[in-house]
Structure 1
């Protein structure tokens, strides 16, 4: 019986770790469904999305990159965090992939090429 209890406690610990990882990936805090606080870059990018009209339409990622003028990694990290937290939606466009338009897109975790964002 003690062995079974020990196995169940180990499983509970594992499940709690998995839940914490999922909450972190979804941008949720430990306070029942509240969104985790955003970083400064995430707030600035979300504000730029709003200013560009992403609440009512899709906005080109290339335009946001150009307007903000950030380092590519900083921009991509903030965009990825906002998308994973559900604060923005990424949209795939019909643009063909070429070296000249690489700055106009964002590559997803599974190789998708996103060209526009909107705010849900």
Structure 2
């Protein structure tokens, strides 16, 4: 096996924001307290809880985010020194979606197919 066949190191993932850190900690509790609720409803409940937290508690989650960001920046620098600059995939995806044609909804497709059939009947 040559060195070219070795797996490339996985690039570091960006840290989660303060809300997502909080959500990760309380999700299972909220889910258990609200059986049968959809994930979106559970997230709304967690969001309301987060907004009601004291400033000190929110600052704790913000600090966790900042700590995680420092670690991420170090890992990112190490990765970029070895493998080159990390490409921002989000921007690339946005550009790709602009180039693609927007799909039609079902009503428009049905109307077009009905028009095509009626024009065939005229022949």
Q: TM-score range by the shorter chain?
A: under 0.3
Please identify the structure whose Cα radius of gyration is greater: 2
Q: Point out the structure with the larger strand share.
A: 1
Normalised to the residue count of structure 2, the TM-score between the two structures is: 0.23
